[in-house]
C-alpha cells in the first residue's frame, strides 16, 4: 500500500492539533472543566470533523474498480495539503472541504458567500490546486490529465445552498461547488475521459508522494493518528464545540452592533464604515467553558417566502377552469358560429391545459432563486394535474422544514368553490327553455 493511501481524512489538521495538545497549548482543567484553546485550533477541530464527513462518503466508492481515493495529500513545497483526491476514468477530482454548520451559502463565478460574508479565497485556492495538480500529474503521467476542482460544503443543508452561475470562468479548469449530500453524484455522473491505460498511468503517478510535494516526508500511520484524535475529541470535543458556538454568537453580536452603528451614522449624515469581506477578527481564547449557546431555530419560510407566482397560478387554477367554462358557455349561448370564435375557444382550452406545467416550472424556478431547490423526478407529477404537483411540493418542502401548505389549501378551497358554480352552469344550460 502506498504511503499516501494510509493517510486518513483530516490527517494534516490532526497532526497540528495533537502537536498543540502535546505542547500544552490545548488543555482541559479536570477540576473546573475549563478548556484553554486558541481560536485557530478551534478551526482545525471543525475542519477535521468536516473532512471526516466527506472522507467517509468518498471511501464508499474507493472499493469500486478503477477508483482511487486519497486523503489529506501533502502538496506543494510547504505544509499545505489537498483535503481529498479522487481518481476515476472521468478525471482527477481535487476536493477542498469547507465545514459551515447550519450556514446559508451562495456561489457564482469567482464568488462564495457564507451567511452573506464573502469568502474571497475559496475559488482562487481551488483553482490554484486544480491547476498545479493538472501540471504535476500531466508531467508525471506523460499526457494532459483532466482535473476537476470541487468545493464541498459540509453542514450546509441543500435548501440553504444557492448557485446562480458556474464557478470560475472560461480560463479556469472545470470546477464544481456542491454540498456533501451531492458529492458522490457529482463525481460519478461525469462521463469517461481516460482509457484504462491512461487511468493506470495517472493512478501510479498519483500514489507517489514526490508527485505532489517537492520534499515529501514519510507519513505517520493514519489509523493511529485517527485513534489519537478520537481520544482527544472524547476528552475535550464537547468543550471545543461549545466554545466555537460562543465565538459565533460573539461575531453575530459584533456584526449587529456594526450594522446599527452604520445605520445611525447614515441617519445622521455620517459616513458609512467600509463593508468587510469576512467575519470580524477573533482573538485567541483562554476562557473557561461557557454556557451552551441557546439553540436558535432556523428562520421558518412563511407562506410569503414560499408563495411564488407559479404557486399562485396553480392555487387559482380551479377558478381559471370555471372562467374558461363560463366563456365557452357564453359564446355558445350567444350563438356565435365562426372560425375565429372556434379557434379562440380551442386556443383558450389548450392554454388552460398547458398552464399547470407552465405554472409548475415557474414555481420551481422562483423557489430555486430563493435558495430552495426541489429538483426531483416527482416534478413530472404536474402532468397528472395541479393538485398532484402541489401535494408533492408541500411534502418536499415539509421534509426541508419548510411550509408550502398555503398554495395547496388555496387550490382545495378554489376547487370546493368551483364545483357548485360548474354545477349551476350545467343546470342552466341543460334546463334552459
List pLDDT tens digits, range 45-77: 889 999 999 999 999 999 999 999 999 999 998
Q: What is the dihedral of CA 205, 10, 231, 181, to 10 degrees?
A: -110
Q: Which of 8-12, 63-67, 207-211, 273-277 has the lowest mean pLDDT?
A: 273-277
Per-residue confidence band for 372, with pLDDT thresholds at 50, 70 and 90: low
| Nearest in space to 76 (alpha carbons), one of 209, 225, 222, 176 | 209
Task: Provide the pLDDT for residue 66.
Answer: 94
Q: Which residues pair with 285 in a beta bridge?
A: 37
C-alpha to C-alpha distances, 67 to 118, 138, 188, nearest whole angstrom = 35, 18, 10
Phi, psi of 118 (to 5 degrees): -75, 130
**Domain edges within the chain:** 4-228, 303-430
Q: Which of 126-130, 254-258, 266-270, 277-281 has the lowest mean pLDDT?
A: 277-281
Regarding predicted confidence, which is higher, 335 or 214?
Answer: 214
Report the pLDDT averaged over residues 9-33: 83
Per-residue confidence band for 273, with pLDDT thresholds at 50, 70 and 90: very low
Q: In the predicted model, is pLDDT for residue 231 greater than 70?
A: yes
Q: Measured in whole angstroms, how far is the alpha carbon of residue 135 from the centre of its chain?
A: 29
Tracing cell 365557452 back to the chain, one arrives at 328
Q: In the predicted model, is pLDDT for residue 165 greater than 80?
A: yes
CB atoms within 10 A of CB 20: 18
Q: In the predicted model, is pLDDT for residue 357 greater than 70?
A: yes
Tracing cell 472521468 back to the chain, one arrives at 90
This prediction has a pTM of: 0.59
Distance CA 84, CA 95 (A): 5
Report the pLDDT averaged over residues 168-175: 92
Residues in the chain: 433
Edge-to-edge strand list for the sheet holding 91-99: 68-74, 81-88, 91-99, 147-154, 175-179
Task: Provide the pLDDT for residue 393.
Answer: 79
What average pLDDT is seen over the chain?
Answer: 81
Q: Which of 292-296, 313-317, 356-360, 412-416 has the lowest mean pLDDT?
A: 292-296
Distance CA 326, CA 332 (A): 10
Distance CA 92, CA 84 (A): 10
Q: In the predicted model, is pLDDT for residue 282 greater than 70?
A: no
Q: In the predicted model, is pLDDT for residue 212 greater than 90?
A: yes
C-alpha to C-alpha distances, 371 to 211, 306, 399, nearest whole angstrom = 40, 11, 15
Task: Provide the pLDDT for residue 300.
Answer: 36
| DSSP-assigned letter for residue 37 | B
| Nearest in space to 204 (alpha carbons), one of 87, 105, 294 | 87
Task: Provide the pLDDT for residue 269.
Answer: 56
Share of the chain above pLDDT 90, in %: 38
Phi, psi of 109 (to 5 degrees): 60, -125
Report the pLDDT averaged over residues 273-294: 44
Q: In the predicted model, is pLDDT for residue 299 greater than 50?
A: no
State the SS3 of 285-347: ECCCCCCCCCCCCCCCCCHHHHCCHHHHHHHCHHHHHHHHHHHHHHHHHHCCCCHHHHHHHHH
Q: In the predicted model, is pLDDT for residue 373 greater than 70?
A: no
Q: Are strands 35-36 and 27-28 parallel, antiparallel or unpaired?
A: antiparallel
Counting Cα atoms < 13 Å in the Cβ hemisphere of 323 gives 9
Contact 158, 105 (CB under 8 A): no
Q: Which three cell numbers stand for residue 409?
A: 389549501
Q: In the predicted model, is pLDDT for residue 260 greater than 60?
A: yes
Regarding predicted confidence, which is higher, 2 or 294?
Answer: 2
The DSSP string of 368-382 is HHTT-----GGGGGG
Report the pLDDT averaged over residues 346-359: 86
Per-residue confidence band for 298, with pLDDT thresholds at 50, 70 and 90: very low
Q: In the predicted model, is pLDDT for residue 295 greater than 50?
A: no
Q: In the predicted model, is pLDDT for residue 297 greater than 50?
A: no
Per-residue exposure over 377-387, b if at least 16 CB sit within 10 Å of its own CB, e if not = eebebbeeebb
Q: Which of 14-23, 155-164, 383-392 has the lowest mean pLDDT?
A: 383-392
Q: What is the dihedral of CA 125, 130, 133, 134, to 10 degrees?
A: -150
Q: In the predicted model, is pLDDT for residue 433 greater than 60?
A: no
Q: What is the dihedral of CA 93, 98, 99, 100, to 10 degrees?
A: -130
Contact 9, 217 (CB under 8 A): no
Close Cβ partners of 357 (under 8 Å, ≥ 6 residues apart): 382, 383
Distance CA 382, CA 314 (A): 10
Coil, strand or helix: which one is 88? strand
Coil, strand or helix: which one is 259? helix
Share of the chain above pLDDT 70, in %: 80
Amino acid at each position: 500500500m502506498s504511503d499516501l493511501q494510509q493517510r486518513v481524512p483530516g490527517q494534516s489538521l490532526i497532526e497540528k492539533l495533537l502537536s498543540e495538545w502535546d505542547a500544552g497549548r490545548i488543555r482541559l482543567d479536570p477540576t473546573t472543566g475549563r478548556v484553554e484553546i486558541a481560536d485557530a485550533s478551534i478551526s482545525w477541530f471543525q475542519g477535521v470533523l468536516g473532512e471526516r464527513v466527506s472522507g467517509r462518503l468518498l471511501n464508499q466508492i474507493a472499493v469500486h474498480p478503477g477508483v482511487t481515493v486519497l486523503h489529506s495529500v501533502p502538496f506543494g513545497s510547504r505544509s499545505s495539503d489537498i483535503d481529498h483526491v479522487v481518481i476515476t476514468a472521468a478525471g482527477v477530482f481535487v476536493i477542498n472541504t469547507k465545514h459551515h454548520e447550519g450556514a446559508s451559502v451562495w456561489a457564482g463565478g469567482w464568488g462564495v458567500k457564507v451567511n452573506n460574508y464573502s469568502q474571497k479565497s475559496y475559488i482562487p485556492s481551488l483553482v490554484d490546486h486544480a491547476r498545479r495538480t493538472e501540471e504535476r500529474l500531466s508531467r508525471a503521467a506523460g499526457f494532459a490529465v483532466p482535473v476537476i476542482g470541487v468545493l464541498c460544503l459540509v453542514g450546509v443543508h441543500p435548501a440553504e445552498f444557492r448557485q446562480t452561475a458556474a464557478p470560475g470562468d472560461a480560463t479556469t479548469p472545470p470546477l464544481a461547488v456542491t454540498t456533501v449530500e451531492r458529492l458522490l453524484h457529482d463525481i460519478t455522473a461525469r462521463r469517461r475521459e481516460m482509457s484504462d491505460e491512461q487511468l493506470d498511468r495517472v493512478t501510479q503517478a498519483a500514489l507517489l508522494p514526490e508527485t505532489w510535494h517537492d520534499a515529501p516526508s514519510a507519513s505517520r500511520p493514519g489509523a493511529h493518528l485517527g485513534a489519537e484524535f478520537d481520544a482527544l475529541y472524547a476528552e475535550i470535543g464537547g468543550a471545543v464545540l461549545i466554545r466555537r458556538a460562543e465565538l459565533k454568537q460573539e461575531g453575530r453580536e459584533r456584526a449587529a452592533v456594526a450594522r446599527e452603528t452604520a445605520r445611525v451614522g447614515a441617519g445622521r449624515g455620517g459616513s458609512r464604515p467600509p463593508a468587510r469581506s469576512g467575519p470580524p477578527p477573533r482573538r485567541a481564547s483562554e476562557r473557561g467553558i461557557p454556557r451552551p449557546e441557546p439553540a436558535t431555530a432556523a428562520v421558518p419560510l412563511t407562506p410569503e417566502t414560499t408563495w411564488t407566482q407559479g404557486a399562485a397560478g396553480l392555487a387559482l387554477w380551479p377558478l381559471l377552469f370555471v372562467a374558461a367554462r363560463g366563456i365557452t358557455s357564453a359564446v355558445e349561448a350567444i350563438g356565435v358560429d365562426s372560425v375565429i370564435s372556434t379557434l379562440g375557444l380551442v386556443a383558450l382550452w389548450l392554454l388552460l391545459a398547458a398552464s399547470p406545467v407552465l405554472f409548475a416550472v415557474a414555481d420551481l424556478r422562483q423557489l430555486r432563486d430563493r435558495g430552495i431547490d426541489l429538483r426531483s423526478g416527482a416534478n413530472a407529477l404536474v402532468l397528472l394535474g395541479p393538485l398532484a404537483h402541489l401535494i408533492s411540493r408541500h411534502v418536499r418542502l415539509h421534509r426541508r422544514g419548510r411550509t408550502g401548505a398555503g398554495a395547496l389549501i388555496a387550490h382545495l378551497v378554489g376547487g370546493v368553490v368551483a364545483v357548485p358554480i360548474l354545477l349551476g352552469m350545467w343546470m342552466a344550460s341543460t334546463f334552459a327553455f
